[in-house]
């Protein structure tokens, strides 16, 4: 049997096992979202826990609150459902009930102590910029991503980036509201290695937001033009990215997970420093099954996707560390490994065969190789934090500078 047959078989066994394990449990979740009170009762009587979660950490109470199933909400609460479970996006059932305007359910949840951490953010609306202050007529197209086109425009005499969101995405009220919440969070962030959010254009029929404009473009463009970087440059760039990511991961009260860290989402300013952009937005691409999300993956982010994300398992901050390792690898190598394979094939091999790029002689010094092995470790708990990565990169940078100085002084002595 060929490798791909083996992989397919292993994947099917994995999916079947997973389905068998969860089939009975999923009935509770699906009945809750369909207002099937009798079905929910049956499942609870069979012993399925009221606080069961799916892979997005969504409970039956989340789904019932989202879909306006008041009777099911009451039943679940009576049967011991936690009123404030937090899903993968930091949302509680009250967040969902509010988003969909189910007032009666909001009252029930609040009376039971329900809180809405996302709603608190939403009370801080995005800074709005008057549409007339931006000359969209003279906008210059600079790129296109999964969400829409990006233009260079002038706002109050300054060049900025205007990111437009496709109407197919922005016209969905839930997606639009989620987008606004992500942007409201983004506008509070300030760090030298994070792209600065400026505001949302008001009086526009489209959803457009402005960020600072980074003249040198993305790391993707830079690697395409320059190929492999010299080790000192690669380490300096890696430090910029790690510092931006550490800031996001250490955000309070909840860490911000990027989920789509790729060379396209790392931009360089005129002074040569890198800034991370588009954090958190990847989750907003709606999956077919309403109410849940999927990673975008469509513009090549599969190449940077951590195995646990590809396998649709629950995941945490360390998925960004995995993506970071792939980016660092590309800086030393001059681009992605396995170019002959599609990004999805690469992600599949990594997820099911534990395949990693070969550490060629270009990747020097040895401490960089060691760091890469740690960062793309198959066990997410064994990957270092960005704080630790920064410490290691600073040491590598120091030793590189020391070696350079020593080489310089040696040649002086010879002369
Ligand atoms: N603030 C910015 N300054 C300068 N160029 C930018 C800026 N934001 C985006 N770009 C350019 O526009 C391109 C498209 O950006 P966008 O963020 O929409 O998509 P992407 O990151 O390439 O892909 P995806 O949406 O799948 O993550 C980028 O690759 C980059 O070249």
pLDDT digits (tens, 9 = 90+) for 266-315: 999 999 999 999 876 665 543 333 333 344 444 448 999 999 999 988 88
> For helices 37-45 and 70-78, what crossing angle results, to 10°?
20
Q: Give the nearest ligand 1 atom to 213 CA.
A: 3
Candidate from 142, 166, 225 with most ligand 1 atoms within 8 A of CB, to mutate: 142
Asked if pLDDT for residue 133 goes beyond 70, the answer is yes
Angle value at C-alpha 282, between 168 and 87, nearest 5 degrees: 105
Q: Which of 260, 278, 320, 348 is catalytic?
A: 260
Nearest CA to ligand 1 atom 12: 143
Please tell me which residue, 128 or 263, carries the higher pLDDT value: 263
d(CA 290, CA 293): 8
283 is in an annotated binding site: no
d(CA 51, CA 57): 10
- Cα of 147 from ligand 1 centre, angstroms: 10
Which residues are paired to 286 by β-bridges? 293
Model confidence, pTM: 0.71
Specify the range with the lowest mean pLDDT, choosing from 16-30, 134-148, 207-221: 16-30
* 135 has catalytic annotation: no
Retrieve residue 37's tokens.
Answer: 């009170």
ipTM over 0.90: yes
Q: What is the pLDDT of residue 388?
A: 98
- Cα of 158 from ligand 1 centre, angstroms: 19
- For the segment 249-265, the average pLDDT, to the nearest whole number, is 91
Q: What is the pLDDT of residue 137?
A: 83
In short, whether 54's Cβ falls inside 6 Å of ligand 1 is no
Q: What is the pLDDT of residue 121?
A: 45
């Amino acid at each position: 049997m060929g490798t791909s047959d083996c992989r397919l078989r292993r994947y099917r066994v994995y999916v079947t096992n997973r389905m068998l394990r969860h089939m009975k449990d999923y009935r509770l979740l699906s009945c809750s979202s369909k207002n099937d009170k009798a079905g929910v009762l049956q499942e609870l009587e069979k012993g399925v826990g009221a606080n069961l979660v799916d892979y997005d950490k969504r409970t039956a109470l989340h789904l019932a609150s989202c879909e306006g199933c008041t009777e099911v909400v009451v039943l679940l609460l009576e049967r011991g459902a936690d009123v404030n479970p937090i899903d993968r996006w930091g949302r509680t059932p009250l967040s969902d009930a509010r988003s969909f305007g189910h007032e009666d359910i909001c009252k029930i949840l609040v009376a039971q102590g329900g809180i809405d951490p996302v709603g608190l953010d939403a009370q801080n609306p995005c800074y709005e910029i008057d549409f007339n202050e931006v000359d969209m007529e003279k906008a210059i197209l600079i790129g296109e991503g999964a969400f829409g086109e990006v233009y260079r425009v002038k706002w109050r005499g300054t060049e900025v980036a205007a990111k437009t969101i496709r109407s197919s995405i922005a016209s969905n009220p839930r997606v639009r509201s989620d987008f606004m919440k992500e942007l409201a969070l983004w506008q509070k962030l300030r760090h030298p290695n994070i792209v600065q959010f400026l505001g949302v254009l008001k009086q526009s029929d489209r959803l457009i937001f402005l960020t600072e404009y980074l003249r040198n473009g993305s790391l993707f463009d830079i690697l395409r033009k320059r190929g492999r970087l010299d080790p000192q440059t690669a380490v300096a760039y890696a430090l910029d990215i790690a510092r931006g990511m550490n800031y996001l991961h250490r955000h309070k009260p909840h860490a911000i997970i990027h989920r789509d860290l790729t060379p396209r989402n790392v931009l360089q300013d005129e002074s040569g420093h890198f800034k991370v952009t588009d954090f958190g937005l990847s989750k907003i691409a709606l999956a077919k099954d309403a109410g849940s999300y999927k990673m975008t993956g469509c513009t090549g982010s599969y190449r940077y996707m951590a195995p646990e994300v590809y396998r649709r398992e629950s995941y945490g901050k360390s998925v960004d560390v995995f993506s970071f390792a792939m980016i660092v690898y590309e800086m030393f190598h001059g681009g992605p490994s396995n170019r002959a394979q599609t990004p999805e094939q690469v992600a599949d091999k990594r997820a099911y065969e534990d395949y990693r790029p070969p550490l060629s002689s270009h990747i020097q010094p040895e401490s960089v190789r060691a760091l890469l092995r740690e960062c793309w470790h198959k066990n997410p708990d064994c990957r270092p934090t960005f704080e630790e990565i920064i410490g290691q990169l600073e040491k590598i940078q120091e030793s590189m500078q020391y070696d350079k100085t020593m080489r310089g002084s040696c040649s002086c002595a010879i002369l």
